[in-house]
Structure 1
Amino acid sequence: MAIHKAACIGGGVIGAGWVARLVLNGIDVSVFDPDPEAKRKVDEVMKGARRAYKRLATAGLPKEGKISYAATIEEAVREADFIQESVPERLELKHKVLAEIDLHAPSSAIVGSSTSGIKPTDMQVAMKKHPERLVVGHPYNPVYLLPIVEIVGGEQTWDEAIELARECYTEIGMKPVVIRKEIEAFVGDRLLEAMWREALWLIKDGICTVEELDDIMRYGFGLRWAQMGMFQVYRVAGGEAGMRHFMAQFGPCLQWPWTKLTDVPEFNDELVDLIATQSDEQSGQWSIRELEKIRDNNLVAIMEALSKENKGKGWGAGALHKDYVKRLGVGAKVSPAAAKAKALKKKKVRA
């Protein structure tokens, strides 16, 4: 399914990231966010995304889609065939917003939620007309660069909606992974939360500082994870005998008291001050916008490097990056009039 007109409900960090990815793929986007600063915030994210895509899209970019700002949700979704909701993680707010989207969006529109952990079944109860079209489409920041998106269906979600969502996200250069069972926080955030919890203990107990912990990750296993993930890395660690040997060798470690498991340190002012102070010492010399630029440059460089591996076919995110750059380049060579005609033709065929 090709996206012809998109709507983004919520223009914060994640919502603006969606706007950037869609617009830089040549798709018009209507944005609704009641924050009077929404346009400025989206513009800031767009600046960073354009800068990153100049490095990323070596074969050229399609003509940018247009961004418009709607006064209401109804106005934003009225003509959209793809809608991404990215409002704060409060279930009552999700219910209110999704009910309005459901009431006013075309019946054929796919609705994705950027929620980091709320189950789609718990959200779609507010959708009285077409709950079957809601899926979780959980991205990672920055949305315009990181390709992964976790797709989760609820009890009322149709298989067809999941497949259409997969096509939509693939169309804009993402790597959709359909989560097999509905579960809170899905897969990525469950892994991150476990690491975050253990990291808080290590800082609180004075084992290391936030900078030392980050160094251990970015100079060590973070580099391995970036291109192989966890299980493929451990397969290699098993030597010629592979995963079975690794499991036999390190499996018993799971019984050792190495981690705090599900124990959580008290989240009080003292812990916040400790971590915030160390974070200021680590990164206070850069503004957030400067850090975003450094992050984006590094991500593009890593994906470019990975795109040259595997005899030029690309490896991991690099393979997808290679295909995405090529696809953007094709869009750059298509005139806006031809692209519109092609889109209309596809729409007629589906009808």
Structure 2
Amino acid sequence: MRPDPSAVRTVVCAGTGVIGGGWVAYFLARGYDVVAWDPAAGAEERLRHLVDAAWPALTELGLAEGADRSRLTFEPDLARACARADFVQESAPEDLDLKRRLLADIDAATPAGVVVSSSTSGYPMTDMQTECATPGRTVVGHPFNPPYLIPLVEVVGGKLTDDDVVAWASDFFRLAGKSVITMEHEVPGFIANRLQEALWREALHMVASGEATVEQIDLSITDGPGLRWPIHGPMMTFHLAGGQGGMAHMLDHFGPSLLAPWTRLTAPELTTGLRDAVVEGCEREAEGRTIDDLVAERDRGVIAVLRALGRA
């Protein structure tokens, strides 16, 4: 018998990199006790640095009652960590064999009925739950970077996931303050990542062919369609592009352009030259700002957008 989503008090975060650490910061800010586990050397120090860096933004957004960084425990033993869980969020690197083994270990150590969620950015749960003794409680809870600021979580189960687990996880994330898409079918890369990937691949093609610089690509989004997307997504944006005739007029008028060679969805070869061009372009655009500087800048901007739209 699993606890009610509203009864969750202790969240275990297995894996504390950029995504897992972001989850730790978020759950702490929402007033949960968090037990973190990560086998990497120096993981606890990096995690606490990440949480401290995120805390000003989370404080500005508003902390839940009882939220405190002192409620974080770093536990080096996975079994001892999972034994305390009311909910588990796994955020290990994107390595299928690793995730299979880790989810099986988490499943073996976690009390019966407790839901185990994965932050995977692309693997179907069907492929990851194969070694679990009780795969019915495993589900994908795919967040967006940084999880402590970006509201969306995509929830989807695998072939062996119990239907009530998908519903439970969706309810839990909503209670925790997230915006949730509950997917009815597994899709590689889920929804948002597939859309991001299409844009990313086209950007790499343009850099590789010399058609655009890194700076031009970023400006084309931040000062172009990116300004519309916090208000209306791509479908509603094109609905408005049809004027009073809406999407119907837009499709009838611009539909033939879908056959024009405007995009190349296959990925370009990641040559050394392309890699170096992208890295050097990002360094130029950063203009000496450190990663911590850029994180703080991003967080201030996201908060401003959320507040301007009445979502924070």
Q: Give the shorter-chain TM-score range.
A: over 0.9
Partner of 1:297: 300
| 1:254 equivalent in alignment to 2:258 | yes
Q: CA deviation at 1:41?
A: 1.4
Aligned Cα root-mean-square deviation (Å): 1.1
Pairing of 1:121-160 with structure 2 (within 5 A): 121-128=126-133, 130-160=134-164
| Equivalent position amino acid for 1:229 in 2 | G
Q: CA deviation at 1:54?
A: 2.3
Q: CA deviation at 1:8?
A: 0.4
| Cα displacement string for residues 82-138 of structure 1 (whole angstroms, at most 9, x for unaligned residues) | 00000011111111111111111011111110000001001111101x100111000
| 1:35 equivalent in alignment to 2:40 | yes
Q: Secondary structure at the match of 2:36?
A: strand
| Cα displacement string for residues 179-202 of structure 1 (whole angstroms, at most 9, x for unaligned residues) | 221121111111111111110011
Q: Secondary structure at the match of 1:261?
A: coil
TM-score by length of 2: 0.95
Partner of 1:92: 97
| Equivalent position amino acid for 1:278 in 2 | G
Q: Secondary structure at the match of 1:226?
A: coil
| Equivalent position amino acid for 1:56 in 2 | L
Which one has more relative contact order, counting CA pairs under 8 Å at least 6 apart? 1
| Equivalent position amino acid for 1:161 in 2 | V
Partner of 1:202: 206
Partner of 1:80: 85
| Equivalent position amino acid for 1:288 in 2 | I
Partner of 2:30: 25
Cα distance in 2 for partners of 1:85, 1:257 equals 40
Gaps of 5+ in 2: none
| Cα displacement string for residues 218-267 of structure 1 (whole angstroms, at most 9, x for unaligned residues) | 001001012211111111111111110111111111111111232x2211
Cα distance in 1 for partners of 2:107, 2:265 equals 41
Cα distance in 2 for partners of 1:292, 1:227 equals 23
Pairing of 1:155-166 with structure 2 (within 5 A): 155-166=159-170
Cα distance in 1 for partners of 2:66, 2:91 equals 25
Q: Secondary structure at the match of 2:224?
A: helix
Partner of 2:72: 67
Corresponding residue to 1:56 among 44, 55, 61: 61
Cα distance in 1 for partners of 2:265, 2:17 equals 33
Q: Secondary structure at the match of 1:222?
A: helix
Partner of 2:247: 243
Q: CA deviation at 1:269?
A: 0.9
Corresponding residue to 2:14 among 9, 12, 20: 9
| Equivalent position amino acid for 2:74 in 1 | Y
| Equivalent position amino acid for 1:236 in 2 | L
Partner of 1:273: 276
Cα distance in 1 for partners of 2:52, 2:192 equals 28
Indicate conservation of the 8 Å contact 1:21/1:172, yes or no: no
Q: CA deviation at 1:35?
A: 1.4
Cα distance in 2 for partners of 1:253, 1:272 equals 31
| Equivalent position amino acid for 2:294 in 1 | L
Q: Secondary structure at the match of 1:227?
A: coil
Cα distance in 2 for partners of 1:100, 1:45 equals 26
| 1:221 equivalent in alignment to 2:225 | yes
Corresponding residue to 1:109 among 102, 109, 114: 114
| 1:287 equivalent in alignment to 2:290 | yes
Q: More deviation in 172-181 or 111-120?
A: 172-181
Percent of residue pairs identical: 38
Task: Please identify runs of 4+ aligned residues in structure 1 that moved more than 6 A.
Answer: none
Q: Secondary structure at the match of 1:30?
A: strand
| Equivalent position amino acid for 1:76 in 2 | A
| Cα displacement string for residues 33-56 of structure 1 (whole angstroms, at most 9, x for unaligned residues) | 011211121112212221102221
| Equivalent position amino acid for 1:163 in 2 | A
Cα distance in 2 for partners of 1:18, 1:137 equals 11
Count of aligned pairs between the two proteins: 305
Cα distance in 2 for partners of 1:91, 1:29 equals 25
Q: Secondary structure at the match of 1:176?
A: strand
TM-score by length of 1: 0.85
Cα distance in 2 for partners of 1:151, 1:163 equals 9
Cα distance in 2 for partners of 1:231, 1:150 equals 18
| Equivalent position amino acid for 1:267 in 2 | L
Corresponding residue to 1:177 among 177, 181, 187: 181
Partner of 1:344: none
